Amino acid sequence: MFKIKNKLESLKTLKQLRLNTMPIEYFETYDEELLDKFFQEYDFKYYVVRDFGKASSDLFRFNLSKEQVKEHVKSKNAEKFVVNVSTFNFTGHQICTGAILIKRNMQISLSVTCEDNCSVRQAEVNPQYSFNCDIDDRRLDKIDGLDQVIDYIFKKNLFDVMVEFASMDIPVGTENEKVIIFELRTNY
């Protein structure tokens, strides 16, 4: 398969595999012209800013307007960050969110919540469901929206990779599908 060492490699892998993500763009430094181009191409009400240079950064912000994004990254002299369209734009359509690892031997580890507009981080810290099992475990059937995530992982051959996801009841994202992949993790 592949090894992913950091968030930037995850982003490159998401794009290379043409996985369904929320529209996202990586920026080396603050560039208002490039930000405006991204906002023009992906005209939504809410965006997310994440630091790709360091973990646990105060740059990380959810549900900002276009102007708030520009003000925030400029005030922080941000470098190596991403801006993406927020799932908050689709309130009422998010079925479940979390992280799941399906190994080739069909063993599963997951942390999931079925609260609307929950982030992956929130789902991992305070999950409604968190357990290890095999693919035939009936508890999996009781988690709304998880079946389409598992099907997506099989379809895209994402085994032995921690997959951060959201399951939606409408198609959204770069590939217009009902499963959104936020990040892939193997070695970090």
149 and 76 in one domain?
A: no
Share of the chain above pLDDT 90, in %: 85
**Residue 15 lies inside a defined structural domain of this protein:** no
176 and 105 in one domain?
A: yes
Query: Residue 55 — pLDDT band, cuts 50, 70, 90?
Result: low
75 and 113 in one domain?
A: no
Residues 6+ apart with CB under 8 A from 142: none
93, containing H or E segment: none
CA dist 71 and 65 (Å) reads 10
- A 10 A CB-CB count for 166 gives 28
Per-residue pLDDT, averaged over 73-89, amounts to 94
70 and 136 in one domain?
A: no
The encoded tokens of residue 69 equal 């994004």
3-state secondary structure of 77: coil
The number of distinct structural domains making up the chain is 2
176 and 101 in one domain?
A: yes
DSSP state of 89: G
Q: Mean pLDDT highest for which of 45-59, 111-125, 152-166?
A: 152-166
107 and 35 in one domain?
A: no
DSSP annotation string for 106-160 = SEEEEEEE--TT--HHHHHHS-SEEEEEETT-GGGGGSTTHHHHHHHHHHHT-TT
175 and 109 in one domain?
A: yes
Query: Residue 15 — pLDDT band, cuts 50, 70, 90?
Result: very high
> In 3D, which of 56, 51, 69 has the Cα closest to residue 8?
51
109 and 30 in one domain?
A: no
168 and 131 in one domain?
A: yes
152 and 95 in one domain?
A: yes
DSSP state of 74: H
pLDDT at 135: 97
Q: Which of 43, 70, 85 is the last residue of a domain?
A: 85
Per-residue pLDDT, averaged over 109-124, amounts to 92
* CATH number of residue 80's parent domain: 3.30.1490
181 and 121 in one domain?
A: yes
pLDDT at 136: 97
Hunting for tokens 């709304």 — which residue is that?
144
**Residue 13 lies inside a defined structural domain of this protein:** no
CA dist 8 and 158 (Å) reads 18
Determine if the pTM surpasses 0.85. yes
Q: Which domain holds residue 66?
A: 23-85
DSSP state of 90: G
Q: Which of 85, 105, 127 is the last residue of a domain?
A: 85
111 and 81 in one domain?
A: no
**Residue 16 lies inside a defined structural domain of this protein:** no
